[in-house]
Amino acid sequence: MAFTDIDNPELYFQTKLYTGNNSDGNAITLDGDENMQPDLVWSATRNNSMSKRVYDSVRGVNAALLSDTSAAEDQYAAYGQFESFNSDGFTVGVGTNSDGTQGYATNTTGHTYVAWCWKAGTSFSNDASATSIGSIDSSGSASDSSGFSICSYTGTGSAGTIKHGLSSAPKMIIIKRRSNAENWAVYHNSIANTKTLYLDLTLAEDTASNWNNTSSTSSVFSVGTPNMINGSSDTYIAYCFADVQGAVKCGSYIGNGASNTDGAFIYLGFRPAMVLVKRTNGAKDWKIFDNKRNGYNGSNEVLEPNDSGAEDTTEFLDFLSNGFKWRIPSSDAKYADVNGEDDTFIYLAFAEAPFVNSKGVPCNAR
C-alpha cells in the first residue's frame, strides 16, 4: 500500500468550476476544506471555444500565456481579466484587450469555466555564478511538499543548466518562451531526453536538442541552444513537476487495445483529481480530465489544452481509489488517443486523496 505524508492534497492542487458574470472583481473561492492560495492557474472555457489561459504569481497577474498557441506572453491577452491571486482562490474581471476592446476570456456571462490551480509558495533566487548551482540564473516559487515549482530565467544561447527550486528531480517540465512566439516545449522522463513534446501541438515525440541530452537532477535541469528554450536574452517560464508519493505522479503506459471497455489500468497510489495524457508515438491531442467535470465514473469530460475547443463528452474514464482505468470502447472516435493497442502514452496526475493516508486509512473509489 502507498503511504504518504500528505493526507490532504487539496492544500496543493484543486480544480475549480465557476460561471462568468461580465464584471470586475469576480472572486472565485476554491472548494477545499482548508484555504489554498494558488501560484498557477490554468483556465479553460467549458461551453465555448476560447484559448486556454495560463497565469502564475511569478510572472504577475496581467501576464497571460495561451496553452493552445505559440503566441508570446500578453499577445492577445486581456489586461485586467485576471486580477489577483487570493488566500482562498483568485479574482477575475473584464479588462481590456491589447487592441483596446473589452475582453471576457476568463469571465463571460453564460460561459462556464474550469480552473486547475497549483500552490508552490516559497520564493527562491539563484545567482549561478555565486552559488555554483547551474550555469544560468533563475528565480521563482517552489514547494517540495507538492513537488511543484515555477522557474523564471533568461536564455543565454549556450547550453547550460538551471536551478529549478526543488530538492528532487522533476519528471516533467513545461517551458514557454515569453518574449517571442514559440511552441511550448515539454520534457518528460518517460521519453528519451533527446525527445521533446509540444503542449500546443498534436505532434508525436520529436527528436530535438532542447534538453542537451541530459536528464534533470535534484538541483537543475539542462537546456540546449534552441530558441524554444534558451534563446539569447529571451525570457522563459518553466513549470516543473516531481513525483510525491500519494500526491503527484508522472509516468507512462502502453495501451491494451481492448475491444470492449476493459481498457488499460494505470496505478498511481492515489485517487486522482486531475490527469493529463498524451500519446507519444502518434499525432494526437493532449487530454485533461478532472474530478469535477462531470465528476462521476463513466462520464469524466475532457478538454484538450492544445486547441481552443469546448469541452468534449465522448471520453470514458474511471477515477479509482489507486489510479485510473480506461473504459472507452474501440468504436469511439477518440479511442486511439488514450488506449490504442501497443501505443505509448505519458501522463501527469495529481491526487484528490492518497490510496492510504499517513494513519493507514484507505480511501474509496468514487
> In this predicted model, what pLDDT tens digit does every residue of 90-148 receive, in sequence order?
999 987 766 666 777 899 999 999 999 999 989 999 999 999 999 999 999 999 999 99
What is d(CA 81, CA 62) in angstroms, rounded to the nearest whole number? Answer: 8
**pLDDT value for 100:** 67
What is d(CA 177, CA 70) in angstroms, rounded to the nearest whole number? Answer: 9
User: Which overall architecture, per CATH, does domain 122-241 show?
Assistant: Sandwich (2.60)
Assess whether pLDDT exceeds 80 at residue 186: yes
**pLDDT value for 275:** 96
Break the chain into its structural domains and give their ranges. Answer: 9-118, 122-241, 248-354
Specify the pTM: 0.95
CB atoms within 10 A of CB 27: 13
**pLDDT value for 159:** 98
**pLDDT value for 198:** 98
Assess whether pLDDT exceeds 90 at residue 353: no
What is d(CA 162, CA 220) in angstroms, rounded to the nearest whole number? Answer: 5
Q: Identify which has the larger pLDDT, 222 or 295.
A: 222
**pLDDT value for 359:** 63
**If you average pLDDT over residues 216-232, what whole number do you get?**
98
